[in-house]
């Protein structure tokens, strides 16, 4: 009977030990489940933020494309204005030269010509 009581006490201690371990494991599982829930919520928030950033990036890319088009148009306009200003200035310089030197022939003069070896010749394109 004493052996049976000792066996019973040993089994009860073993049962209590197992119950304690089970309680600790359940608490650890609950903590990990809570951590996982927090991570899922954070992941959802981050995915929403990524979507916002993707939309913002697309808007910025569209804005940059529009600015590039505007820049190109402005650049072309400025080049045209510079060329027109240069041509108008050249004509004005010829008029002044003819006025200061009556009788000179400026008909061969052009903004696309240069003086080479004492003669007026067409400008050579770069690489010619």
Q: Tell me: the pLDDT tens digits for 75-120?
A: 999 999 999 999 999 999 999 999 999 999 888 899 889 988 999 8
6-58 residue pLDDT tens: 888 999 999 999 999 999 999 999 999 999 999 999 999 999 999 999 999 99
Please report the pLDDT score of residue 82 as a whole number.
96
Q: Does residue 97 lie within any of the structural domains?
A: yes
Longest dimension (CA), the chain: 147
- Residue 113 near residue 121, CB atoms below 8 Å: yes
Please tell me the pTM assigned to this model.
0.52
Domain extent for 56: 2-122
Token code pair at residue 53: 């950033």
Is residue 123 over pLDDT 90? no
Q: Does residue 127 lie within any of the structural domains?
A: no
Q: Does residue 110 lie within any of the structural domains?
A: yes
Please report the pLDDT score of residue 1 as a whole number.
72
Please report the pLDDT score of residue 128 as a whole number.
62
State how far the Cα of 83 lies from the Cα of 98, in Å rounded to an integer.
23
Task: Give the torsion through C-alpha atoms of 30, 34, 35, 38, to 10 deg.
Answer: 170
The residues that bridge with 119 in the sheet, in sequence order, are: 116
Domain count across the chain: 1
Q: Does residue 75 lie within any of the structural domains?
A: yes
Q: Does residue 128 lie within any of the structural domains?
A: no
109: Cα within 13 Å, side-chain hemisphere: 12
Q: Does residue 59 lie within any of the structural domains?
A: yes
């Amino acid at each position: 009977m004493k052996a049976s009581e000792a066996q019973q006490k040993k089994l009860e201690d073993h049962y209590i030990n197992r119950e304690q371990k089970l309680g600790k494991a359940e608490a650890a599982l609950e903590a990990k489940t809570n951590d996982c829930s927090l991570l899922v919520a954070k992941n959802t928030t981050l995915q929403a933020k990524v979507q916002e950033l993707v939309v913002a990036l697309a808007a910025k890319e569209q804005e940059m494309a529009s600015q590039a088009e505007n820049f190109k148009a402005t650049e072309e306009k400025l080049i045209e204005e510079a060329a027109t200003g240069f041509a108008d200035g050249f004509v004005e310089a010829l008029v002044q030269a003819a006025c200061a030197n009556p009788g000179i022939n400026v008909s061969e003069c052009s903004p696309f010509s240069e003086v080479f070896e004492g003669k007026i010749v067409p400008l050579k394109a770069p690489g010619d």
